[in-house]
């Protein structure tokens, strides 16, 4: 592996603002103060789910999932599942094994799809200079590919040359499409892959476009034809078709193809790219980590749920790899002191209130539509890195083995995991682990049906009064829906989503959020093209698919560029 280079840094001092303009997945605006080429302070400002609880209040609890899954552009299933689980929990129904397995399998398929798309289509352009791939020697690239990955026809010199030709035609016509306004255009000092690695990654970017279609189809096999989730129901699932041998065979075949791509393409690419960016193992780290666990083996109550998850639930404070605590849901509060809501009291989600009070855009006292979730008062990173660190620290066999392999291949210490590089690596690591584990889950599901258990939904009664929590550790991180039922209707409904944990504002104590912490200390090589901000922000996989504006410090010049 290549030696890491010194990280390029400018001597710029002043503010830099990166401001996306999306309206649906929340308006994420990152403001930083740069001092002598390093980020000194950061503010993450965004809006999400404003008033969703107002729409939900008074409705039938069973209907919550149909609204919450629309809150977020592409996270439909995780919200549908969290809403379903919170009502499951409130009505105290224990769902049948088939339903648990079907929900887990669709969630696993979603992980595979989301993480592949994230790595190649949302994050790769922060590291890979597509135009530099034109300078590559396809023969050399093929040799390199053969060194890092199993032999495959797509990695031959001929195939890579064909990709290069296609790319050249693309660039020659000026039809840059998705690459328009990318930071690497015209060269950028913070990009330092050799042209051959850029070519391999670009070829796989295109290949992944095809593959992700199939990975998404995997979700639809059990999820029903409609791209929106309609198969979950309080008490279980409704898609009986998903128990037929044909559907199971179809799911298995799509899983196998996706797994092959993960093992033979994604992981080798991740290692190859990471090998040149080892300096990023020291940039962008956070301190505390939280996961609710995912892929439960027993969902009869919240305690058993968290204890039985394949990826274990847990809390890690102060980067202590030797100590993981149990999650105590009572310790979660949402702060609003720095948010565009009335008051400054922190509340547990069951007692959550949502009373908007907008001030102004550049207010640093109140600057976000997100609340600031905290655990025991601390900002917690959620998502792939939290899951992998906690599984690793708890000695989870498959995670321990793969993390150690990755650390060894990159020759970096475990402490380098607390970084932007670690966050991006963790996403790949868990993808490979889930892809491997799915074999056993599919077999368990098929065997259960074969022995005659065709139960997919349990009966239950709506209580007049009740409360429940639905936990999901979504690909993006810890998600929870909290419901209070009164007169069999929704009395209060709160969502605490991964992006608010990671990308929220300061809390009542004035302490920064994970993304703000991660940005502070980051070098900036070119304040007009602050790719370093994108690297760290994208590594959290914020739930935004959007165009972004950069406003230059001393003028009103607005440079448009794409975030993906």
Partner 1 sequence: MTHDAPKILVLGVGNILFTDEGVGVRAVEALTRDYRFSDNVTLMDGGTLGMRLMDPIMQCQRLIVIDAVLGGDEPGSVYLLTGDDLRKSLAFKNSMHQSDLVDTLICCGLAGNRPDAVVVGVEPYDYQTMAVDISPQMTEKMPVILEVALEEIKKAGGDYDPASPGGDGA
Class of residue 158 by CB neighbours under 10 A (exposed 0-12, middle 13-18, buried 19+): exposed
Q: Is the CB of 124 or the CB of 416 nearer to partner 1? A: 124
Q: What is the DSSP string of 308-365?
A: H-SB--EEE-TT-TT--BPP-GGGEEEE-TTBTBSS---B-GGG----B----TT-SS
Q: Is the CB of 59 or the CB of 319 nearer to partner 1? A: 59
Backbone angles phi and psi of 14, in degrees to 5: 150, 180
Instruction: Indicate if 476 belongs to the active site.
Output: yes
Q: Is the CB of 90 or the CB of 220 nearer to partner 1? A: 220
Instruction: Indicate if 535 belongs to the active site.
Output: no
Catalytic residue of the set 72, 86, 237, 507: 72
Instruction: Indicate if 237 belongs to the active site.
Output: no
CA distance readout (Å), 69 to 21, 323, 481? 21, 35, 12
Instruction: Indicate if 100 belongs to the active site.
Output: no
Q: How many CB atoms lie within 10 A of CB 3?
A: 8
Least distance in Å: CB of 123 to partner 1? 14
Least distance in Å: CB of 80 to partner 1? 12
List contacts with partner 1 (CB under 8 A).
21-25, 50-52, 54-55, 67, 70-71, 73-74, 76, 117, 121, 177-178, 206, 209-210, 212-213, 216-217, 220, 226-228, 544-547, 562, 564
Q: Is the CB of 21 or the CB of 162 nearer to partner 1? A: 21
Q: Is the CB of 225 or the CB of 330 nearer to partner 1? A: 225
Cα–Cα dist 431/266, whole Å: 9
Cα–Cα dist 100/96, whole Å: 6
Least distance in Å: CB of 387 to partner 1? 23
Nearest to 51 by CA among 345, 356, 338: 356
Instruction: Indicate if 286 belongs to the active site.
Output: no
Rg of the Cα atoms in the chain: 23
Least distance in Å: CB of 21 to partner 1? 8
Least distance in Å: CB of 125 to partner 1? 13
Catalytic residue of the set 44, 83, 499, 522: 499
Catalytic residue of the set 53, 374, 546, 562: 546
Catalytic residue of the set 476, 481, 538, 564: 476
Catalytic residue of the set 29, 44, 53, 79: 79
Instruction: Indicate if 543 belongs to the active site.
Output: yes
Sheet holding 489-496, edge to edge: 465-474, 477-486, 489-496
Helices (H), 173-296: 195-223, 245-261, 267-276
Q: Is the CB of 130 or the CB of 485 nearer to partner 1? A: 130
Catalytic residue of the set 237, 286, 309, 543: 543
Instruction: Indicate if 210 belongs to the active site.
Output: no
Least distance in Å: CB of 358 to partner 1? 12
Instruction: Indicate if 86 belongs to the active site.
Output: no
The tokens for 45 are 């400002």
Catalytic machinery residues: 25, 72, 75, 79, 476, 499, 543, 546
């Amino acid at each position: 592996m290549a030696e890491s280079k010194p990280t390029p840094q400018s001597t710029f001092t002043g503010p830099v603002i990166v401001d996306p303009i999306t309206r649906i997945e929340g308006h994420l605006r990152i403001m930083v103060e740069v001092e002598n080429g390093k980020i000194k302070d950061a503010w993450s400002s965004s809006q999400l789910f404003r008033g969703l609880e107002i729409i939900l209040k008074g409705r039938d609890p069973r209907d919550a999932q149909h609204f919450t899954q629309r809150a977020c552009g592409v996270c439909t299933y995780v919200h549908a599942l969290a809403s379903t689980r919170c009502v499951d929990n409130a009505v105290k129904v224990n769902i049948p094994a088939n339903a648990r397995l079907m929900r887990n399998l669709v969630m696993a398929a979603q992980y595979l799809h989301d993480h592949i798309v994230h790595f190649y289509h949302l994050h790769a352009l922060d590291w890979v200079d597509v135009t530099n791939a034109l300078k590559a020697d396809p023969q050399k690239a093929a040799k390199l590919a053969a060194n890092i990955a199993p032999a495959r026809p797509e990695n031959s010199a001929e195939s890579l040359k064909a990709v290069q030709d296609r790319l050249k035609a693309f660039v020659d016509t000026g039809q840059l499409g998705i690459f328009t306004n990318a930071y690497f255009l015209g060269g950028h000092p913070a990009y330092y892959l050799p042209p051959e690695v850029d070519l391999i990654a670009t070829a796989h970017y295109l290949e992944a476009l095809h593959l992700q279609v199939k990975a998404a189809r995997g979700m639809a096999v059990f999820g029903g034809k409609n791209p929106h989730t309609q198969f979950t129901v309080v008490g279980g699932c409704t898609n009986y078709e998903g128990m037929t041998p044909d559907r199971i065979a179809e799911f298995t075949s799509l899983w196998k193809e996706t797994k092959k791509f993960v093992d033979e393409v994604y992981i080798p690419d991740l290692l190859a790219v990471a090998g040149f960016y080892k300096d990023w193992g020291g940039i962008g780290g956070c301190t505390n980590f939280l996961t609710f666990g995912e892929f439960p083996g027993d969902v009869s109550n919240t305690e058993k749920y968290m204890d039985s998850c394949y990826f274990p639930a847990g809390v890690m404070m102060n980067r202590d790899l030797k100590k993981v605590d149990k999650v105590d849901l009572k310790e979660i509060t949402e702060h609003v002191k720095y948010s565009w809501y009335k008051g400054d009291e922190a509340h547990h989600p069951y007692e959550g209130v949502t009373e908007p009070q907008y001030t102004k855009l550049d207010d640093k006292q109140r600057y976000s539509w997100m609340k600031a979730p905290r655990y025991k008062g601390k900002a917690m990173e959620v998502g792939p890195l939290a899951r992998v660190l906690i599984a690793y620290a708890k000695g989870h066999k498959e995670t321990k083995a793969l993390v150690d392999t990755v650390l060894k291949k990159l020759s970096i210490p475990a402490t380098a995991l607390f970084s932007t590089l670690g966050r991006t690596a963790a996403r790949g690591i868990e993808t490979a682990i889930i892809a491997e584990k799915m074999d056993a889950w599919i077999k368990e599901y098929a065997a259960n049906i074969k022995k005659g258990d065709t139960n997919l939904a349990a009966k239950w009664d709506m209580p007049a009064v009740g409360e429940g929590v639905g936990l999901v550790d979504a690909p993006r991180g810890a998600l929870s829906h909290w419901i209070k039922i009164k007169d069999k209707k929704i009395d209060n409904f709160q969502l605490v989503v991964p992006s608010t944990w990671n990308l929220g504002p300061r809390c009542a104590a004035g302490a920064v959020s994970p993304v703000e912490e991660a940005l502070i200390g980051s070098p900036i090589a070119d304040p007009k093209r602050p790719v370093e901000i994108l690297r760290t922000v994208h590594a959290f996989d914020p739930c935004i698919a959007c165009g972004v504006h950069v406003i230059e410090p001393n003028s009103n010049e607005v440079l448009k560029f794409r975030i993906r």
